[in-house]
Amino acid sequence: MDTQTGITATAPAGKIPQPSEPHLPDDQWGHRAWELLQKLRSRAPLIQCITNVVSMDLMANLLLAAGASPAMLSSIYEISDFTPGVDALCINIGTLSEDGLASMRAAAAVAVKAGRPWVLDPVAVSASDFRMEACLGLLELRPAVIRGNASEILGLAAARRIRNSKGVDSSHQSFDAVEAAKSLSRSIGAIVAVSGAVDYITDGHMVVGAFNGVSMLQKITATGCAVTALIAAFISVEPLRALEATACALSIFGVAAELGMEMASGPASLRMHLIDCLDGLNEDLLVSRMNVYRVS
Amino acid sequence: MDTQTGITATAPAGKIPQPSEPHLPDDQWGHRAWELLQKLRSRAPLIQCITNVVSMDLMANLLLAAGASPAMLSSIYEISDFTPGVDALCINIGTLSEDGLASMRAAAAVAVKAGRPWVLDPVAVSASDFRMEACLGLLELRPAVIRGNASEILGLAAARRIRNSKGVDSSHQSFDAVEAAKSLSRSIGAIVAVSGAVDYITDGHMVVGAFNGVSMLQKITATGCAVTALIAAFISVEPLRALEATACALSIFGVAAELGMEMASGPASLRMHLIDCLDGLNEDLLVSRMNVYRVS
Amino acid sequence: MDTQTGITATAPAGKIPQPSEPHLPDDQWGHRAWELLQKLRSRAPLIQCITNVVSMDLMANLLLAAGASPAMLSSIYEISDFTPGVDALCINIGTLSEDGLASMRAAAAVAVKAGRPWVLDPVAVSASDFRMEACLGLLELRPAVIRGNASEILGLAAARRIRNSKGVDSSHQSFDAVEAAKSLSRSIGAIVAVSGAVDYITDGHMVVGAFNGVSMLQKITATGCAVTALIAAFISVEPLRALEATACALSIFGVAAELGMEMASGPASLRMHLIDCLDGLNEDLLVSRMNVYRVS
């Protein structure tokens, strides 16, 4: 226990068996996404973000445009007072520091204890041992969702096998990010989302593909970080169906980007228009655009 | 005294009696605001901002658009060299840390000693004991202006009564934010501004209402923080009439938002257009739009 | 040696004689700049930025628009793992802290040892003794390029003369920033760029003027910081001709600003349009617009 803050960062007692969610028929995703967005807009959930400095502006504005209420508090001295009252927590290690990591661990522990879901964005997890160890430690604190790009998910899955397994997975020397995501998902008991041209979301059993989005998003800093916060907002209003909530968050972001792209002349105007389009998104546009289905 | 920095963070010797400012006739506010904006543009005052990370970009760009010169220095090691030369100081506790708080206390003390006004933005002051204690301590260091939303001002006023009073105010269990603002203003000797659909500004005696602005501002992160910095810029050119300067800053921001809203299609484009509109604001637009008057 | 990180921040063994680069004919700059931009876009160099908080968003987005890959990692614990693999490093002291300075020193030392160029942006170097001492120390760690405004370069050159010289330069009490830049360049063995209405770039022998840009850039925070990161990206693809790479980076930024200005209605829309224009810049526009030539 940290005697200054009174927070005990206990690890949960082992792996959580994660039952597969019921299968949503492919033609229902648009209506489901609209339903969740409506819930989000009416409840305005409070989403605490302990995140990298680069992403804060975009993340806060994207959450506001979706209807959530962002809070960027991250001091270790505030977590025991503040975090029990949030609706979800987003942790992002982009500009990781020692102090930041202590806050992340404390906040994740408090959130889990208070029954609030939290999501992890393992930015550039393979860039240093410090970062990888930080992430592996955070994985023990029961994230509801992990979202990364293919190399982050592959890196995390590989490091976890090396550190934890006594050989059961060690024969799988190579597999693509989706298989790594499924394995990671089962091992942690969390939804894992792999972002890319297509986003894949898995609960360790089924895999859903989210096909919306535009390639120019890669030219805007922190879009990945921001969408992770959006996932936190969506699972806060639908915690028991986290796979659906995650896929809906990713898709809605992708649809907003597609709509924004129609007005954009480059990455900076796309950044602006996608926020405006998310704010103004209506049912017809969302349902007609959304392209999500189960892939395995 | 902090032996490393040579800065003594002494509290002032008790409450400052704040005489009520002369009453500006309601039809004079537009011309007064234009006069102050002209002063600001010609003097380009140096405004030091020790502020939360989320707000820095918008705050700096808003100050530049108004004609001020922003400086985001916040290291404790620089305050004794740098702060005596600034024209005003803006302190915002949005992403408060221990180090940040030490810098805030040191900078406020130096500013007061050097005869420079400083303003306080008590962001989410009730979110934690750490934050509330930090704010109550900063209030002892003579801010010229405090700007917050209704719940922040109510929280601050209530906490101050609990901590300080021997019962003189304790019978007032409920009162709206304007009464809390008046009480806080008299107790601190500072102008207090309560932001909302209407902004109320008081010197503890009279209350002025500023009616410009648009509701979509709530969907843009850090607009409140940024307008507090704008207040710092305005009081730096009119320190002896801080109520007028505060009301003019709030109104000019509101007018820029209204003008920006005419071109905006959502919160992100509003953020852009309001900065452009503040930069290009002229006398006719300002005077014809501005809507400020004494309400009590 | 820092025993925690294993990084030795050794100063190089004295001044580096910097031979003058070959003279590029004035009519070749446009084609040269296009060539370098093409290289940048195809190689997507990884640029680590240890920079002030205000600049991060613009800096990362500008690097992305140019075709580079930004990384904002700055923890002291990650430098020995991460920095050897970057293509260039950008160090900016805008919001300097003790921890930040330790990271900057470690990263610069690692970059030099790994043969990677690094650039220094001495923001507001004269604002405090802490800042000036930090910069003077960093100068010992062999930056490839220093970019500042006139007062920053003058301040740095003057402080260096006071600290280092036994009088050889002390008779030069006044000289303009270009002469200071030349002197600083020869003394450090680095390219020095002085930004302003015209940007001057020198290797200590010849001086090149870059004449593109618009005055409204001064109303956007962190444009100077961002262009320094752009210089880092350009020298990473042309390290042996750092003067040319620096002048091309400054000019391309200036051309993007000119093109953006044609669509802008103020500083916030200029900020957006210049990023879009940099992203979409083509050869004809660049060559026809670019205005660079040797001035001495």
**Helix pair angle (C223-237, C242-261), 10° resolution:** 130
| Averaged pLDDT for residues C226-243 | 97
Using the Cβ of A266 and the Cβ atoms of chain C, whether some distance falls under 8 Å is answered with yes
Assigned domain for B21 exists: no
| C49 close to C60: Cβ distance less than 8 angstroms | yes
Over residues C72-79, the mean pLDDT reads 96
Which residues are within 8 A (CB) of B160 and not within 5 positions of it... i.e. 6 or more apart? Answer: B136, B139, B184, B187
pLDDT band at C20 (very low <50, low <70, confident <90, very high): confident
- Tell me: pLDDT of B58 over 90: yes
Interface check C267 vs B, CB under 8 A = yes
Asked if the C-beta of C71 comes within 8 angstroms of chain A's C-beta atoms, the answer is yes
Look at A72 and B52 and tell me if their CB atoms are within 8 Å: yes
Cβ contact A199:A252 at 8 Å = no
* C61 shares contact with chain A (CB less than 8 Å): yes
User: Please, which pLDDT band fits residue C22 given cuts at 50, 70 and 90?
Assistant: confident
Q: Which of B74, B221, B265 to mutate to test the interface with A (most CBs of A within 10 A)?
A: B221
CB B52 within 8 A of CB B123: yes
Cα four-point dihedral sign B135, B138, B139, B144:
negative
Number of domains forming the structure of chain A: 1
CATH of the domain at C39: 3.40.1190.20
> Whole-angstrom Cα distance, residue B2 to residue C284?
60
Closest Cβ–Cβ partner in A57, A219, A264 for C57: A57
- Does residue A1 form part of some domain? no
A194-228 pLDDT, tens digit per residue, is 999 999 999 999 999 999 999 999 999 999 999 99
Range of C49's domain?
26-162+173-294
What is the distance in angstroms between the Cα of A38 and the nearest Cα belonging to chain B? 16
pLDDT for B164: 58
* Nearest-by-CA chain C residue for B5: C130
Residues of chain C with C-beta less than 8 angstroms from the C-beta of A72: none
CA distances from A201 to A242, A245, A260, C198 (A): 10, 10, 24, 52
User: For residue C233, is it within any domain?
Assistant: yes
Query: Which bin fits A88, alpha (ψ -120 to 50), beta or left (φ > 0)?
Result: beta
Q: Using a CB–CB cutoff of 8 Å, tell me whether A261 touches chain B.
A: no
Residues C82/C71, Cβ–Cβ less than 8 Å: yes
Residue A11 lies in a domain: no
> Quick check: A184 and A160 in contact, CB under 8 A?
yes
Contact C131 B61 (CB under 8 A): no
| pLDDT at position B170 | 38
CA distance B168 to B186: 14
Whether B45 contacts B233, CB under 8 Å: yes
The reported pLDDT for the residue numbered B175 is: 44
Q: Which residues of chain A have pLDDT under 50?
A: 1-4, 6, 9-17, 165-175
pLDDT in tens, C83-101: 999 999 999 999 999 999 9
Question: Quick check: is C208 in a domain?
Answer: yes
Q: For residue A272, give the nearest of C73, C99, C272 by CB distance.
A: C272
Among C63, C75, C110, the residue to mutate for chain A (most A Cβ within 10 A): C75
Residues C188 and C185: their CA atoms lie apart, in Å, by 5
Mean pLDDT of C235-262: 98
Q: How confident is the model at residue C7 (pLDDT cuts 50, 70, 90)?
A: low
Backbone angles phi, psi at A260, to 5 degrees: -65, -35
Rounded to an integer, what distance in angstroms lies between the CA atom of residue B226 and that of residue B61?
9
* Confidence at residue B23, expressed as pLDDT on a 0 to 100 scale: 82
Both tokens of residue A287? 């349902």
What was the pLDDT predicted at A174? 35
Pairs across A and C, CB distance < 8 A: 84
Cβ atoms < 10 Å from Cβ of B264: 20
How big is chain A, counted in residues?
Answer: 296
Residue A232 lies in a domain: yes
Residue type, C14: G
Closest CA to C228 of C245, C240, C214, C206: C245
Q: Does B19 reside within a domain? A: no
DSSP, residue by residue, chain B: -BTTTTB--PPPSSPPP-PPPPPPPGGGHHHHHHHHHHHHHHH--EEEEE--GGGHHHHHHHHHHHT-EEE----TTTHHHHGGG-SEEEEE-TT--HHHHHHHHHHHHHHHHTT--EEEE-TTGGG-HHHHHHHHHHHTT--SEEEEEHHHHHHHHHHHHHHH-SSTTTT-----HHHHHHHHHHHHTSEEEEESSSEEEESSS-EEEE----GGGGGSTTHHHHHHHHHHHHHHH-GGGHHHHHHHHHHHHHHHHHHHHTT-SSHHHHHHHHHHHHHH--HHHHHHH--EEE--
- Please judge whether C127 and B71 are an interchain contact, meaning their C-beta atoms are less than 8 angstroms apart: yes
Q: Could you give the percent of chain C with pLDDT greater than 90? A: 85
ipTM: 0.91
- Chain C residues whose CB is inside 8 A of the A130 CB are 75, 77-78, 81
Q: What is the pLDDT of residue C241?
A: 96
Average pLDDT, chain C: 91
Report yes or no: A254 and A90 within 8 Å, Cβ to Cβ.
no
The verdict on residue A17 lying in a domain is no
Strand pairing of A145-149 and A118-121? parallel
Q: Tell me the C-alpha distance between B50 and B221, whole Å.
A: 17
Minimal C-alpha gap between B173 and chain C (Å): 42
A285/B contact by beta carbon, under 8 A? no
Nearest of A153, A161, A248, A258 to residue A196 by alpha carbon: A153
β-strand partners of A14: none
Do B64 and C267 count as a contact with CB atoms less than 8 A apart? yes
Kindly indicate the confidence band of residue C13, based on its pLDDT and cuts at 50, 70 and 90: very low
Segment C150-196, tens digit of pLDDT: 999 999 999 988 665 443 333 333 347 999 999 999 999 999 999 99
CA dihedral (B246, B248, B252, B257) positive or negative:
positive
Chain A residues in contact with C78 by the CB 8 A cut-off are 96, 127-128, 130-131
Give me Rg for the CA atoms of chain A.
18
